[in-house]
């Protein structure tokens, strides 16, 4: 399998090169040159465990790592999860919660980033190289990425996050890590500001090469690849083709579902659930992709108005026309708005925006009815799914699977407000009182570049 860029100027990359490149050198996003068709294998995969299914899917996209080594890396990646089969499926009447928060940092990002860390360690070790990771987080990516590479000798990781806009526990999970290869940067501004700095730094080809920069954000193809597995797994455990409702900020999670559907896994429909940062809901309603102000909400990991992985979806929507895609992204960068002319077909994918009060209502209703506690991100998905089912829209005979993205204990304030219950978890309780390490910087690209250089020189 080879990889190419959505912008059309990079092609023919092997997986390991794509892994280390992260963001394509032409500022596009890397995608596989072909999408495997797995329909003939679904019957034999029906009863595989999560790890076994991952070990079947990964070689379809990774052919430059020895098969037995790859199989071992996959198994090692999920050994630290506290669920017998890595992910859980909790039935709440007609809706199913796909629990993806059983990893070491209690968020769905662990499913991809534990594997990404193992892949980095293996490839860098084989090549005798090192990597300096620069990432941006709206909450969960940072701690999951840090956990995946902490202590590695050939990796330093720099994670930027918006000051005051991640939950206190999310900040603790990042800043209390004592390993010397971990560097946390709080920036004045929004997540979109952090993400823009990251992309601008990567666009400086000379600087990127000199300081051996790599990416862990969902711009890295390996992140998306790992997430395909749980959509395949859940679809094969549903009686009929389900609708997946995905709480969405940067579009990487739902894009993985889109690829799983294209590969032939039995998926009926994809419902994109956003909070008040509704750029995606507006796009699917109007066909116009227009930047808005970033609103601070109960679901901070979704407080995003520019969804990086949306470029990958548009690339396929435009029938892999790189020229049209590039023009669209240039128009958006210049004007804060670009349009495809009309809304996408509802059958393909649809979207719902969920307000603060609706999020709290979902958390309250689920706790009262089932004794089950939702985190506010999963609650956005639950409300969107429930609302669409009640209106007989985007539903399927196979039911609806709501993607559970984080453990409720990561967001105690929101859970207490909605339910009166204080959620806890031993992993988070252990952070209490630990010293925090972080660097405060202005929202300035030169300041970030200078800090990275200074840290590596030390």
Q: What is the pLDDT of residues 95-128, one digit of tens each?
A: 999 999 999 999 999 999 999 999 999 999 999 9
Domains of the chain with CATH codes = 88-107+221-426 (3.40.50.1100)
User: DSSP letter at 405?
Assistant: -
**CA atoms lying within 13 Å on the CB side of residue 405:** 26
Has 109 been annotated as catalytic? yes
Please tell me the predicted confidence (pLDDT) of residue 442: 96
pLDDT of residue 391: 66
Percent of the chain predicted with pLDDT > 70: 98
pLDDT of 394: 44
pLDDT digits 0-9 by tens, 43-75: 999 999 999 999 999 999 999 999 999 999 999
Q: Give the residue among 211, 281, 276, 229 at the shortest CA–CA distance from 251.
A: 281
Q: Give 307-355 pLDDT, tens digit per residue.
A: 989 999 999 999 999 999 999 999 999 999 999 999 988 777 999 999 9
What is the pLDDT of the chain when averaged over all its residues?
94
Polymer length in residues for the chain: 458
3-state helix, strand, coil in the chain (%, to 5): 45, 15, 40
Q: What pLDDT is recorded for position 348?
A: 78
Distance of alpha carbon 217 from alpha carbon 252, whole angstroms: 9
What is this structure's pTM? 0.94
Q: Report yes or no: 80 and 115 within 8 Å, Cβ to Cβ.
A: no
pLDDT of residue 389: 72
Reported confidence tier of residue 396, pLDDT bands at 50, 70, 90 = low
Could you give the residue ranges of the DSSP H alpha helices within 62-211?
Answer: 67-77, 109-127, 140-149, 168-175, 191-203, 205-210
Percentage of the chain modeled with pLDDT above 90: 87
Radius of gyration from C-alpha coordinates of the chain: 20
pLDDT exceeds 60 at position 157: yes
pLDDT tens, residue by residue, 120-149: 999 999 999 999 999 999 878 899 999 999
pLDDT, position 392? 60
Please, where are the H alpha helices in 128-246?
140-149, 168-175, 191-203, 205-210, 221-236
Q: Which of 109, 118, 208, 386 is catalytic?
A: 109
pLDDT digits (tens, 9 = 90+) for 355-366: 999 999 999 999
Report the SS3 class of residue 236: helix
Beta carbons of 105 and 147 less than 8 angstroms apart: yes
Cα–chain center distance at 1 = 23
- Indicate the helix (H) or strand (E) that contains 185: strand 182-187
Q: Where are the alpha helices (DSSP H) in 353-411?
A: 356-370, 376-390
Q: Round to whole Å and give the CA distance between 370 and 157.
A: 41
Q: What pLDDT score was predicted for residue 217? A: 83
Measured distance CA(26)–CA(246) in Å, rounded: 29
The mean per-residue pLDDT over the stretch 395-407 comes to 85
- Among 407, 447, 415, smallest CA distance to 105 is for 407
pLDDT at 47: 95
Instruction: State mean pLDDT over 7-13.
Output: 97
Q: What is the pLDDT of residues 235-283, one digit of tens each?
A: 999 988 999 999 998 899 999 999 999 999 999 999 999 999 999 999 9
Pick the more confident residue, 420 or 304: 420
């Amino acid at each position: 399998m080879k990889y190419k860029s959505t912008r059309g100027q990079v092609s023919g990359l092997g997986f390991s090169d794509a892994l280390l490149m992260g963001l394509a050198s032409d500022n596009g996003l890397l995608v596989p040159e072909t999408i495997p068709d797995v329909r003939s294998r679904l019957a034999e995969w029906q009863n595989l465990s999560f790890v076994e299914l991952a070990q079947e899917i990964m070689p379809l996209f990774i052919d430059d790592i020895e098969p037995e080594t790859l199989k071992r890396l996959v198994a090692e990646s999920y050994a630290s999860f506290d669920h017998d089969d890595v992910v859980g499926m909790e039935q709440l009447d007609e809706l199913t919660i796909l629990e993806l928060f059983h990893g070491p940092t209690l968020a769905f990002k662990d499913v991809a980033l534990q594997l990404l860390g193992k892949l980095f360690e293996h490839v860098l070790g084989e090549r005798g190289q090192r990597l300096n990771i620069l990432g941006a987080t709206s909450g969960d990516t940072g701690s999951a990425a840090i956990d995946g590479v902490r202590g590695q000798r050939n990796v330093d990781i720099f994670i930027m996050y918006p000051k005051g806009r991640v939950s206190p526990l999310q900040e603790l999970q990042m800043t209390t890590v004592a390993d010397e290869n971990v560097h946390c940067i709080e920036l004045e501004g929004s997540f979109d500001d952090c993400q823009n700095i990251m992309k601008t730094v990567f666009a400086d080809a000379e600087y990127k090469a000199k300081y051996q920069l790599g990416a862990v954000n969902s711009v890295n193809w390996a992140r998306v690849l790992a997430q395909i597995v749980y959509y395949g797994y859940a679809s094969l455990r549903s009686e009929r083709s389900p609708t997946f409702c995905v709480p969405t900020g940067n579009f990487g999670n739902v894009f993985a579902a889109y690829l799983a559907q294209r590969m032939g896994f039995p998926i009926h429909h994809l419902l994109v659930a956003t909070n008040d940062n509704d750029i995606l809901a507006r796009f699917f309603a109007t066909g116009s992709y227009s930047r808005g102000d970033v609103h601070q909400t109960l679901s901070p990991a979704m407080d995003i108005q520019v969804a990086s992985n949306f470029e990958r979806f548009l690339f396929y929507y435009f029938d892999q026309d790189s020229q049209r895609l590039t023009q669209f992204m240039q128009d958006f960068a210049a004007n804060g708005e670009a349009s495809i002319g009309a809304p996408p077909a509802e059958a393909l994918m649809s979207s719902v925006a969920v307000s603060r009060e609706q999020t709290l209502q979902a958390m309250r209703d689920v706790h009262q009815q089932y004794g089950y506690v939702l985190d506010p991100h999963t609650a956005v998905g639950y409300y969107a799914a429930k609302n669409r089912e009640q209106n007989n829209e985007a539903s399927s005979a196979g039911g609806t699977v709501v993607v559970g993205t984080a453990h409720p204990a990561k967001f105690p304030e929101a859970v207490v407000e909605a339910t009166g219950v204080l959620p806890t978890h031993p992993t988070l309780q252990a952070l209490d009182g630990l010293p925090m390490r972080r660097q405060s910087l202005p929202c300035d690209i030169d300041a970030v570049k200078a800090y990275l250089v200074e840290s590596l020189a030390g």
